[in-house]
Amino acid sequence: MKRFVKIFGIAAVAVLIALIGLSFFVRSYLRSERLKALLVPRIEQVTGRGVNIGSIRVSLFRGIVVKGLSIRGKSGEGDFLSARSLVLDYRLLPLLKKELIIEKLELESPSVRIEKKKDGTYNFSDILDTFNKREEAERTGGTGQAGGPGFLVAADSLHIVDARLEYRDDQTGLDASVVADGDFKITPARKVSESLSGELDIKSAKAAIGGIETNTSGRIDITPRSAVFQLNTDIGKESIKAAGRIDDYRESPVITCDISSKKIDIDRLMAAAGGKEEGGTAKAGSHEGEGSPGMSRLTASGQIRVDTARYKDYVVNNLLLKYRYERGFAQIRPIALSFRGGQEVSATGSLGAELAFVVSPASRNMTTSVMDSLAGKGTLDLRDIAVRRSKIAEAIALFTGIGEMRNTRFAPTRFNFTVKDRKIYFDGKLESPEVKIDPSGFMDFDKRLSVLADMKIAPALTSKLSPVAKVASYVKDKSGWVTVPLKIAGTTEKPSVALNKAAVGRQVEKGVGREIEKRILKDLFK
């Protein structure tokens, strides 16, 4: 037993001496100055940016720990990327031959600042250019590698812990920040052309967009040719799920994405996406840009399903949108939903439609391009229609003298509509026991109106007609209903109502003819 203890003690001392020797060798060979001379040029050549390193410590077991790593922004302004530490795990045996081979990398608390300029370029566009040059060097027979002899990155994975992303879009004014807590395992490509592969297990990615806080969790699996994702985003008490895949993401991305939610607030999402200007106008698309050439190579399809949504004064149920985008042309077909609510005019109903539009990569204003090309058609089925505080109904009541228009109920009906040339053309009928009206015309995207409507008034209300409206009061049908032709213009906020003079002229001629006919027949009978 004593002999065994003695042998074990001698072995332990030998191992300890060996470890001390190895540690001394590692520290002496991997001196801070030597490592900086190896690492800084390597990173600078890969990124084309200036690099700063605070300090470097070497441990036999933990590896090389780089503290205070930062990559400067374009033209030297601020930091594009900074990290609390970068840990490089090296292979020990090759190091004994004075060859530094990195087999594992871990990035702790990285912070990235991404900016989209008004011209549509990003603050990392020059880094992509550097990568493209390396790829071109590979194709033409060059190595495309950076660094000096004795330094090789053979890492199988890159682990990222506690990541932070800040994003600013100068075209839309959007500011966003994301803090991610998860396990990001990325396998770097051996060549630029091979791209990356790996897995991103996101436990929590918190973001603040337009004053709204979100928290995303899920998983993304990446291969050199595709990425499969399944994400869940919480917005307050609401949750949105997104599942799908991206194929050929480097050259011509093909995206399939289905989005679903039990309950969402559409107004809040729109405010977060584009922000608000004074007066409540959305900023999105208000700045000019050069468009996105990559959009012409993108193909996307999928569907959006929402059980319950809130939009302005309406509650929307069973929302379904199926979309497809290819080579600048987008289709949303079908659009189906049911709804209830409204303040000026409350109603219950359903909508069915299809829309299409063009996203022109060459357009200097993406929103304008979409609005100019937007076209489609649909139907709107309404029931339980109750007019309460409608500005249009108020204007009609003031002009005709029929106060019942201010507060009335209409029978179930259907409106047809067509969208083209930045206008919504529509026609339909509204009927109640007191009035019948058949509006047809259009409202443009600036809410300007151009509508013609024949308003029929019940015999019991004809005595209330205003002096101007009485011009047509002698034209009656067999039941005694009077028709007043109206022309509605202005805007939805400030509508103006007048007589449709052309229709009045036709009615006068028709009415005079009938009166003469009655008198002749009366004389004949006498």
> Do residues 173 and 118 make contact, with C-beta atoms less than 8 angstroms apart?
no
* Residue 475 one-letter amino acid: V
- Report the SS3 class of residue 188: coil
Q: Tokens 């249009």 identify what position?
A: 392
pLDDT tens per residue across all 526 residues of the chain:
555 444 444 444 444 444 344 444 344 445 566 667 777 777 777 777 888 888 777 765 566 777 888 888 877 667 888 888 887 776 655 555 555 566 677 788 888 888 877 777 777 777 777 766 665 665 555 544 444 444 455 555 667 777 787 877 776 666 667 776 666 666 655 554 455 667 777 878 787 766 778 888 888 888 878 889 999 999 878 899 999 999 987 778 899 999 999 999 888 777 655 544 333 444 444 444 444 545 667 899 999 999 999 988 899 999 999 999 998 899 999 999 999 998 889 999 999 999 999 987 666 677 788 899 999 999 999 999 999 889 999 999 999 999 888 889 999 999 999 999 999 999 999 999 999 999 999 999 999 999 999 999 999 888 888 887 776 665 677 788 888 899 999 999 999 999 888 777 666 656 555 554 454 445 444 4
From the list 505, 475, 474, the residue with the least C-alpha distance to 487 is 505
Residue ranges with strand state E in 73-144:
79-90, 100-116
pLDDT given at position 271: 67
For residue range 230-283, what is the model confidence (pLDDT) as tens digits?
999 998 788 999 999 999 877 788 999 999 999 998 887 776 555 443 334 444
My answer on whether omega of the bond before 467 falls inside 30° of 0, hence cis, is no
Question: What residues contact 441, with CB distance under 8 A and at least 6 apart?
Answer: 425, 426, 427, 449, 450, 451, 452, 453, 488
Residue ranges with strand state E in 359-448:
375-387, 408-410, 413-420, 423-427, 430-431, 435-437, 440-444
Question: Where are the chain's structural domains?
Answer: 22-156
User: Rounded to whole angstroms, what are the CA distances from 373 to 134, 166, 328?
Assistant: 40, 33, 11
